[in-house]
Structure 1
Amino acid sequence: MSASHSGEDRHVRLVQALLRSAGLTQSALKCGTHAPYDAETAERLIREGEAPSAARHNCSGKHAGMVLFARASGWPMETYYEPSHPIQQAALDVVAALTDVPAAQVLTATDGCGVVTFGLPLRALALAYARLADPASVADPPIRRALARIGAAMMEHPVLVGGERRRLDTSLMRERPGVLIAKGGAEGVQAIGLLEGAVRERGASGPPDAQSAGDGARRGQGTGGRRRADPSAPLGLALKIEDGTGASRAGGAATCAALEQLGVLDRASMSRLAAFASPPVRDPRGEPSGEVRTVFRLAN
């Protein structure tokens, strides 16, 4: 339910099992469908003549969770995706609470999967992930318990958050197990929660605009003003790549560079994550002609 998964068989089986637990099928999902993000799975479906189903959609877990939430709450299941549905209002309220942005100031639109999506400053998104990494800092008991459960599940099952192949969020959590919580989003969005003690070295200071690659927020900080905090405290990191290319180009390189500057990734980790940290640029023959490199330094 906390995934933008790659549509692999393991993801489909889990979504179907969740729905079966409530006597439902994937026909209850209103996310539509698309070919699996995982290229190998997508090619296999073509060879076998299998049309992608709603369960293959990268947001099917989230939609399954909304359907089950509606059923458990006694709300209509058929309209769970509509902006006026109580589930969408509940989601807005939680987003507002975790980001310190009043609900009336959170921008809303329709996501690619058909439900409400939220527009927030990067700092607010980073703050939410700092709190995901440190649920004890959240005063509201139900939200605190939910964050603890979600964060633990994501770290224990990183392949369910993304996928087995070519997924930055999964690869980061596998590289640094129990240290960070990572989740990629559409259009070049990446958010990371760093658990207490994850940041080993703050990194050199850079020009004021170095934060354009992302924004960090310490737990408990609001959206206004910067202050130096305990370097070992949980930290949130949020990035948005303006051209939307995400982890395959600038997104992966910027994310890995920021984590390296924070001391979360060392040289060996950067080498193992080279497909994201410095992805090659290839010519029409498939020969390497360059690579993506970062030039920013995080500001203090």
Structure 2
Amino acid sequence: MRSADMIELWRGGRRESLHRGHAVVCDAKGIVESWGKPSQIIFPRSSCKMVQALPLVESGAADAAGLTDRHLALACASHSGARMHVEAVEDWLTTMGMGESDLLCGCHMPRDRPENRRLTCSDESPSQLHNNCSGKHAGFLTLARHLRGPGRQTGDYLAPDHPVQRAVKTAFEEVTGEISPGFGIDGCSAPNWACTLNGLGRAMARFACAGTDRRGLAMRRLTDAMRTHPDLVAGEGRACTMLMRAMGGRVVAKTGAEAVFVAILPDQGLGVALKIADGGTRAAEAAITAILVHLGVLDQAEPVVSRLLSGPIRNWRGIATGELRLSPGFP
């Protein structure tokens, strides 16, 4: 089975571009719907941050550190580096007696426009706090401190054989129901374990159908944190934040680099995972929007649907030059 036609770009009455990909909708028993090849092996990238944060909660590290739902939302975030994100992570580290230099995620300019402008105009360099994964790394540091005990050095918490990453790998393989074929190094330097798209969808369904055991309670807590604080998970103008707001906090939506997107639907007991084959973010955002509308959790009339999927594409003069369309048979 090959990838499925999903999203098309039309201009001047002709199809200009075609985005193909794979997607699954899973419940507690398995695949409910699929497009393309469910067995396609992918790197989930940042779409699986809630899985990477499971050991933080399950181990008791989050409670021991007094973490709130805001901290947990940041641990699952690919934030825009706005002041509220930067200051929240900085305060988190300060409370632990640590600082920006303890992070190992690297620096990049923030995606948030006001903060980007502030740095540019002040000639100030970005710090690791601006990294979109700084919240995840603060979570890793919190877990490392908890596992190694008071006063112990956290070490290279990104090393695949570090207790933090061993715990992440174990949780990842358990919730996907698969032995990972290996890992790649993510943009923030953390190991990113590969799985099938079906495995990723299965993991999201398990979050959606979380029970009352220790793992289930951890899943519920992370899911609730994300859907309660969509502004912390991404930021203004970002697809994850806009989609979660449009669905009134009933659904979690989380993107990952190279056009991966997942969703957790607790009320329906469903998990969604998709991957656009060419890595195009535009298509991933359109495809997840289409699937959420298809599943009845996102109203077609919501402005975010027009912005990400059905609205016209305009040029620099504001002239409508094209449009995105769903390929026949999708979703």
Task: Give your verdict on TM over 0.5.
Answer: yes
Answer yes or no: is 1:235 the counterpart of 2:270: yes
Secondary structure of the corresponding residue to residue 301 of structure 2? helix
The structure whose RCO (Cα within 8 Å, separation 6+) is larger is 2
**Per-residue deviation, 1:286:** 5.5
Answer yes or no: is 1:21 the counterpart of 2:64: no
Range that drifts further, 290-299 or 114-123: 290-299
1:26 is matched by which residue type in structure 2? E
RMSD: 1.8
Listed one character per residue, the Cα deviations across residues 27-77 of structure 1 (whole Å, up to 9, x for unaligned) are 100000111122332122201222111000000000111011111111641
Range that drifts further, 271-280 or 251-260: 271-280
Query: Match of 1:126?
Result: 201
Which of 273, 277, 283 does residue 309 from structure 2 map onto?
A: 277
Query: Match of 1:108?
Result: 183
Secondary structure of the corresponding residue to residue 273 of structure 1? helix
Which of 250, 260, 266 does residue 195 from structure 1 map onto?
A: 266
CA distance in 2, matches of 1:83, 1:38: 31
**Per-residue deviation, 1:279:** 5.5
Listed one character per residue, the Cα deviations across residues 244-269 of structure 1 (whole Å, up to 9, x for unaligned) are 221xx211111111111111222212
Query: Match of 2:295?
Result: 262
CA distance in 1, matches of 2:161, 2:92: 25
Greater percentage in strand? 2
Closer, same or farther in 2 for the Cα pair 1:119/1:295, shift >3 Å?
same
Range that drifts further, 171-180 or 278-287: 278-287
CA distance in 1, matches of 2:176, 2:328: 26
Query: Match of 1:210?
Result: none
CA distance in 2, matches of 1:272, 1:186: 20
Answer yes or no: is 1:184 the counterpart of 2:261: no
* Contact persistence 2:243–2:304 (CA under 8 A): no
Note the residue ranges of structure 1 that are not aligned, 5 or more in a row: 198-233
Closer, same or farther in 2 for the Cα pair 1:272/1:186, shift >3 Å?
closer
* Contact persistence 1:129–1:191 (CA under 8 A): yes
Range that drifts further, 279-288 or 123-132: 279-288
2:234 is matched by which residue type in structure 1? G
Answer yes or no: is 1:287 the counterpart of 2:322: no
Output aligned runs, 1:1-300, within 5 Å.
1-74=75-148, 76-102=153-179, 105-136=180-211, 141-164=213-236, 166-197=237-268, 234-246=269-281, 249-269=282-302, 271-278=303-310, 280-283=312-315, 287-298=319-330
**Per-residue deviation, 1:146:** 1.4
CA distance in 2, matches of 1:279, 1:242: 23
1:111 is matched by which residue type in structure 2? D
CA distance in 2, matches of 1:14, 1:50: 19
**Per-residue deviation, 1:14:** 1.0
1:127 is matched by which residue type in structure 2? R
CA distance in 2, matches of 1:296, 1:261: 14
Closer, same or farther in 2 for the Cα pair 1:41/1:297, shift >3 Å?
farther
CA distance in 2, matches of 1:119, 1:235: 21
CA distance in 2, matches of 1:4, 1:251: 16
Q: TM-score, normalised by structure 2?
A: 0.72
**Per-residue deviation, 1:179:** 1.7
Secondary structure of the corresponding residue to residue 271 of structure 2? strand
The percent identity for this pair of structures is: 39
Secondary structure of the corresponding residue to residue 267 of structure 1? coil
